[in-house]
A = this chain, B = another copy of it.
Amino acid sequence: MPTYKAPLRDIRFLINELFDYPAHYKSLYNGKDVDTDTIEMILEGAADFCENVLSPLYQSGDLEGCHFADGEVTTPKGYKEAYQQFVEGGWQGLSYPEIYGGQNLPMSLNIVKSEMMGTANWPFTMYPGLSMGCMNTIIQFGTEQQKNLYMPHLVAGTWSGTMCLTEPQCGTDLGQVKSKAEPNADGSYRITGTKIFISAGEQDLTENIIHIVLARLPDAPAGTRGISLFIVPKFIPTADGQIGERNSVSCGSIEHKMGIRASATAVLNFDAATGYLIGAPNKGLHAMFTFMNTARIGTAVQGIAHAELSYQGALPYAKERGSMRALSGKKDPEKVADAIIHHADVRRMLLTQKAIAEGGRAMIYYAAQIADKMTDALAQGDQAKFDEYDDKLGFYTPILKGFLTEMGLEAANLGVQVFGGHGYIAEHGMEQIVRDARIATLYEGTTGVQALDLIGRKVLLSSKGKVVREYTADILKFCGRHARNKYMRRFAWDLTKICAQWNALTVRIMLAARKDRDIVSSASVDFLMFSGYAMMAYFWAQQAAVASEHLEAGTGHETPEFYKAKIKVADFYFERLLPRAQGHAEAMVNPSRTLTSLPAEHFSFDY
């Protein structure tokens, strides 16, 4: 069973050496006082909590699962106590304003914390995680009164929040939402409808649960233009923020799921429950989209969390388990067999996990800086800047969420594979990681939805390919700077080629789409995966660049071995994983008719 150990050396390498968070923080309204000591305090505090409190509950929580009886959910043994420690540590308010009791630290530090927590225990982390969607909604669209009423409790973590979007008939296609909101005389609304798949929708960790609910006002336009947002508290707070009357929202059941079994997924029945409009009427979906980019980084983190945890399980096993002899001769001659880490194919699996975990971490930590800048622009009231960064992040998020969760699932499966048959046995804890990782490509927009968002909305519709041109121009500048360095030459060359190809593919699909609309869908997932491989290549090259600079100059906080390993893993990525992009490139340019021309009734002649 993997026990989580926070990879602080890798995290510090990214924070201090690759991205220089301390310098970046100086430019932020809420980062001026965040020095290296503050960062270290957060890192070490989070590591301690994750390693000693959350990690030990990961397997037991899965075994026990959540209990449901009479509308009440009981979380697994130890969850309440751990959550209490989470609240006492002030972890929920890390990046929320001080006026609500938070610590007002930059969002990126919150993402680093979430990564550690999610790696140690993803199902636990979902309880406070969902609350952030609720807090972001209230902080951005709530009235002063709403903010003052809810935020202090939510920031403290003594209350939690949810996002109630999905209904039985619709998930992705929220235009089909049926839940209705009817006005009361006092300005509140009666909310009626059924919401499903509500993570943390009911639990025994917090005093109150604040649901953000998508519903329709009377006479709202059909489809997505007729959806409004409502705050529906489990207990209606009194004016002074105390727990008041129980609202008529009830948990009908919780789902039996493949994984994340310690995280309660609720069916919620709203039966003329009292709700409060938040934001403009009929603009609910638009409001949701304004912070979808930041929210999706949170899910992208799951990809690297499970890659990391599975690697932490597989690596010691590969060093310990002896089987056969390496093809190039005995490596552990004193033993009856060589440790399997000496087999090249086992190394291929381990290095794939490592390349995904560390490459993905770099991608996320970079995106987190953009999120910091967005928050900064918002605080400064600079809408133009906000939009600029939002556009920038909008290119990253579908790639991060879509690509990293697919890769995280692969990495988790490789962890099982390193264990051989033992990986299939529950007690070793490796198969749980696969089951937990499996949700990541489904919720918060499936991989297909991310792919369509990327190619349809972000690349073609709103930028006509400009976003790819600009991004690759940045990469090419990087290549120019490093082309003559001995370590970097091959990376620069491969990146140059893949940038040219990325642009060519974008143009080709853009032109094809004029006559063949379906190609946007038929090419979408291959385009997403191609983009992901290309982007991760850039982040591996950046890590190698910093490592090689330190190696050559004899500088840096780390040992030469650390930097050499970074370069070797970058080599591995370019030689072994990046080539997969070619299969996606070749597949995506084919016309859509291969997919669309088979009549639906001819998909099977037997059933």
Is A154 engaged at the interface, CB distance under 8 Å to the other chain?
no
Whether the pair B587, A579 counts as a contact (CB closer than 8 A) is: yes
Whether the pair B7, A606 counts as a contact (CB closer than 8 A) is: yes
Q: List A421-464 residues whose CB lies under 8 Å from chain B.
A: 421, 423-427, 431, 434-435, 438-439, 441-443, 446-448, 451-452, 456
Whether the pair A600, B341 counts as a contact (CB closer than 8 A) is: yes
Give the residue name and chain of the B residue nearest to A260 (CB).
Answer: B424
Question: A592 — which chain B residues lie within 8 A by C-beta?
Answer: 344
Evaluate whether A328 and B565 lie within 8 angstroms (CB atoms) in the complex, with A434-B438, A442-B420 already known.
Answer: no
Whether the pair B319, A425 counts as a contact (CB closer than 8 A) is: no
Interface-lining segment among A97-105, A393-401, A513-521: A513-521
From B439, B599, B606, contact of A6 by CB (8 A): B606
Question: A349 — which chain B residues lie within 8 A by C-beta?
Answer: 448
What is the CA–CA distance of A447 and B418 in the complex, to the nearest angstrom? 11
Give the residue name and chain of the B residue nearest to A577 (CB).
Answer: B587
From B255, B423, B568, contact of A594 by CB (8 A): B568
Q: List A543-581 residues whose CB lies under 8 Å from chain B.
A: 558-559, 561-562, 564-565, 568-569, 571-572, 575-577, 579-581
Whether the pair A575, B590 counts as a contact (CB closer than 8 A) is: yes
Question: A477 — which chain B residues lie within 8 A by C-beta?
Answer: none
Most buried by B among A427, A452, A607: A607
Interface residues on A, range: 35 or more
Whether the pair B258, A603 counts as a contact (CB closer than 8 A) is: no
Is A184 engaged at the interface, CB distance under 8 Å to the other chain?
no
From B5, B337, B416, B607, contact of A606 by CB (8 A): B5
Q: Interface code A194-232, partner B: CB below 8 Å = 1, 0 otherwise?
A: 000100000000000000000000000000000000000
Is A44 engaged at the interface, CB distance under 8 Å to the other chain?
no
What is the CA–CA distance of A420 and B448 in the complex, to the nearest angstrom? 10
Interface-lining segment among A167-175, A284-292, A298-306, A478-486: A167-175
Is A266 engaged at the interface, CB distance under 8 Å to the other chain?
no
Is A595 engaged at the interface, CB distance under 8 Å to the other chain?
yes
Evaluate whether A197 and B421 lie within 8 angstroms (CB atoms) in the complex, with A323-B172, A345-B451, A518-B344 already known.
Answer: yes
Is A8 engaged at the interface, CB distance under 8 Å to the other chain?
yes
Is A512 engaged at the interface, CB distance under 8 Å to the other chain?
no
Protomer copies:
2
Measured CB to CB, the closest approach of chain B to A314, in angstroms, equals 10
Whether the pair A258, B5 counts as a contact (CB closer than 8 A) is: no
Measured CB to CB, the closest approach of chain B to A256, in angstroms, equals 4
Question: A348 — which chain B residues lie within 8 A by C-beta?
Answer: 522, 525, 595
Whether the pair A341, B603 counts as a contact (CB closer than 8 A) is: yes
What is the CA–CA distance of A435 and B423 in the complex, to the nearest angstrom? 12
Q: List A522-537 residues whose CB lies under 8 Å from chain B.
A: 522, 524-525
Is A342 engaged at the interface, CB distance under 8 Å to the other chain?
yes
Whether the pair B421, A561 counts as a contact (CB closer than 8 A) is: no
Is A598 engaged at the interface, CB distance under 8 Å to the other chain?
yes
Q: Interface code A161-190, partner B: CB below 8 Å = 1, 0 otherwise?
A: 000001001111101100000000000000
Whether the pair A595, B347 counts as a contact (CB closer than 8 A) is: yes
Whether the pair B518, A328 counts as a contact (CB closer than 8 A) is: yes
From B319, B326, B336, B572, contact of A518 by CB (8 A): B326
Whether the pair B607, A319 counts as a contact (CB closer than 8 A) is: no
Measured CB to CB, the closest approach of chain B to A528, in angstroms, equals 10
11 residue pairs A–B, Cβ–Cβ below 8 Å: A197-B421, A315-B604, A315-B607, A326-B518, A326-B521, A344-B522, A347-B598, A351-B595, A417-B448, A420-B442, A579-B582
List 11 other contacts, CB 8 Å, given A172-B324, A315-B604: A169-B322, A176-B336, A257-B425, A257-B426, A259-B424, A326-B521, A327-B518, A345-B521, A348-B595, A417-B442, A568-B597
Interface, chain A (partner B; CB < 8 A): 5-10, 166, 169-173, 175-176, 197, 255-259, 311-312, 315-316, 319, 322-324, 326-329, 336-337, 339, 341-351, 354, 409, 413, 416-417, 420-421, 423-427, 431, 434-435, 438-439, 441-443, 446-448, 451-452, 456, 517-522, 524-525, 558-559, 561-562, 564-565, 568-569, 571-572, 575-577, 579-587, 590, 592, 594-600, 602-607
> 10 nearest interchain CB pairs?
A579-B586, A344-B522, A344-B521, A258-B431, A580-B583, A256-B426, A173-B323, A7-B606, A5-B607, A575-B590
